[in-house]
């Protein structure tokens, strides 16, 4: 029996690290991410997200993270992640709008996207298509 060549083997879906302190939001977001075809890892706060990225750097392909969290907020975590892995795509989520100058500063640091709550699957999918180019 012929073995598939490397180019014929199915590619592994990307893994998205979902970071949110609210378990219900985390579960709902994780469900949406899996529905559009990605694998999910979960972190409850910024500190945990940093540890996951440090300990498994090749397993995380992008981060989808809430801004308002205890322990370490999403902006602080994003800034720390950019020092650890400057090319890691991070998309921030917030129920509050950013001031334009703050959003520009984050974009200059490498932020790949921003979603305002509430969001839908139709909002998430184009973000990941842009991030992964497919």
Number of domains the chain is built from: 1
Q: 0.75 cut: is pTM over it? A: yes
Q: What is the pLDDT of residues 3-34, one digit of tens each?
A: 555 555 567 899 999 999 999 999 999 999 99
CATH code, domain with 59? 3.40.50.2300
Q: What is the pLDDT of residues 91-116, one digit of tens each?
A: 999 988 888 888 899 999 999 999 99
* C-alpha distances out from residue 126 to 2, 9, 21, 72, 122, Å: 37, 25, 24, 28, 7
Domain-located, residue 117: yes
Neighbours of 93 (CB within 10 A): 24
**Structural domain of 30:** 15-132
Domain-located, residue 2: no
């Amino acid at each position: 029996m012929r073995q598939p060549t490397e180019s014929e083997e199915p590619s592994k879906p990307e893994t998205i690290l979902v970071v949110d302190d609210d378990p219900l939001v985390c579960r709902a977001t994780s469900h949406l991410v899996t529905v559009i075809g990605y694998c999910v890892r979960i972190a409850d706060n910024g500190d945990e997200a940093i540890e996951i990225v440090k300990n498994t750097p090749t397993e995380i392909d992008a981060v989808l993270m809430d801004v308002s969290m205890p322990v370490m907020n999403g902006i602080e975590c994003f800034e720390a992640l950019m020092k650890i892995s400057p090319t890691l795509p991070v998309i921030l989520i917030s129920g509050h709008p950013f001031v334009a100058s703050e959003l520009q500063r984050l974009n200059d640091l490498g932020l790949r996207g921003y979603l305002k709550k509430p969001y839908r699957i139709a909002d998430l999918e184009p973000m990941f298509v842009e991030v992964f180019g497919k």
